[in-house]
Amino acid sequence: MLTSRGQMFLGLGAVVALAGVVLGYRDVTRVGLLLVILPLLALLLVRPNPPSLRVQRVVTPARLQPDQQGAVEVAFTNVGRRPTPMFLAEEQFDYSLGDRPRFLLPRMVPGEGRRLRYTVRSRHRGAFNVGPITLRRRDPFGLTHVALQLPATVELLVLPYVWDLGDRRVAGQGRGTEGELPQMVSLHGEDDVSIRQYRDGDELRRVHWPATAHRGEIMVRQEDRPARRRAVLLLDCRAGAHPGSGYRPSFEWAVSAIASLARHLVKDGFVIHLLTHRTVEDGSAGVQIALPEALATLARAHPDQDTSLQPLAAAAHSFTSGGVLLISVVVAHDKDELANLAAVREPGSAAMAMVLDPDAFASPGSGETKGAAAIRHTQVLTQSGWQTVLVGPSDSVPGAWQTLRASRRVGSLT
């Protein structure tokens, strides 16, 4: 494209050439034609031939915590057969990661490589694309410039902030078989040992001699894994429930709470399932999820438009019939939606909820008093046997968790 200088040359040359023709001054006409030809000639010389460059990025560490500094190393290699010209390059990414680096990419002969290293940092969690790189080049007179893009990109994950919820164990008292161990099992760390009769094909090294002598028949050891306790974490992703647009403090609080609960429960030996609108849609909610994958899913989470709690409640009900521990982080936005969620809890099972007051998050400076509407909505869950705590922007995740555990009742957590 023509730069502003090139456009000025082209327009001025046309005016001068026209004036020379009208006035009959051939020399003036020649000067005008020269001014017109210069930018057109520059357009031909600086033609947009894409360079044969291979771009590879390495992000260290691969996953960042909020406010943690990460390093990005970009390697350029000329894989073409011709030397590349010098370019002014700019890396493209979200400005929340910092200023976009600009640098000169020097001329490279075939097979030559160059490396660039810069740092990034984000205050908020999210999934960010680093790249593409924009290349710009001008002619020597500054009349034209060409802009190209190297399309290679890499994803940078900033995980949600995880709070320490203490070392106190979570003991379930709900009904069902979740977490129960079979009889005649002696626990030794991760391995359980039970005794059964010898069967053809059993290894002799597994013979349990004391039991064999006592029973008068060959008995062998059978090693099993203990049944593991199961927890379901439900995240309210309704865009209409979380006040604001863009960065929503209530949603970030909820994501951080779910991430903190996930780490706390996994540390305590729970198998966790993560229920969001995205995991319910893609079917991954029914599969147990490891902590790194759970944090990565939460890093990519965002409020969804035109959604309700009904799909999440239906997915949670398939778990609660087995007596699992259900913990929800929801917004006191719609009483009917919370009523549908409240009905998920089975009698005798444990269900807990951190309920966010949307009015308090919409105006955090209004004071510590919780809204009357949020209190009424929370009572819908409480009256159905849920343990609840109503939180605002000034409440911390560890404090809400301690309050929630202190409100235990018969058949709930201890």
When pLDDT is averaged across residues 374-390 and rounded to a whole number, the result is 93
The reply to whether 235 and 207 lie within a common domain is no
pLDDT of residue 392: 93
Residue 211 has pLDDT above 90, yes or no: no
Least trusted range by pLDDT, from 110-114, 220-224, 314-318 = 220-224
Q: Which residues contact 410 (CB under 8 A, 6 or more apart)?
A: none
pLDDT of residue 174: 43
Edge-to-edge, what's the strand order for the sheet holding 219-224?
186-188, 191-197, 219-224
The reply to whether 330 and 397 lie within a common domain is yes
Residue 413 has pLDDT above 50, yes or no: no
The reply to whether 295 and 367 lie within a common domain is yes
Q: How far apart are CA 116 and CA 353, in angstroms?
A: 48
The reply to whether 103 and 244 lie within a common domain is no
Structural domain contains residue 179: no
88 band by pLDDT with thresholds 50, 70 and 90: very high
When pLDDT is averaged across residues 380-389 and rounded to a whole number, the result is 94
Structural domain contains residue 145: yes
pLDDT of residue 141: 81
Q: How far apart are CA 302 and CA 277, in angstroms?
A: 10
Q: How far is CA 156 from CA 5, 69, 369, in A?
A: 39, 12, 39
Is the pTM higher than 0.75? The answer reads yes
More confident residue, 403 or 208: 403
When pLDDT is averaged across residues 67-92 and rounded to a whole number, the result is 94
The reply to whether 15 and 62 lie within a common domain is no
The reply to whether 250 and 310 lie within a common domain is yes
- Helical (H) or strand (E) element with 338: helix 335-342
> CA angle 265-270-273, nearest 5°?
85
The reply to whether 138 and 285 lie within a common domain is no
DSSP code for 112: -
Q: How far apart are CA 182 and CA 225, in angstroms?
A: 10
pLDDT of residue 209: 84
Structural domain containing residue 92: 53-158
Backbone angles phi, psi at 161, to 5 degrees: -70, 135
When pLDDT is averaged across residues 211-215 and rounded to a whole number, the result is 82
107 band by pLDDT with thresholds 50, 70 and 90: very high
pLDDT of residue 171: 59
More confident residue, 337 or 212: 337
Rounded to the nearest integer, the mean pLDDT of the chain is 85
pLDDT of residue 187: 36
pLDDT of residue 4: 86
Q: Which amino acid is at 154?
A: V
Using the 3D structure, point to which of 224, 245, 273 is the last residue of a domain. 224
More confident residue, 283 or 307: 283
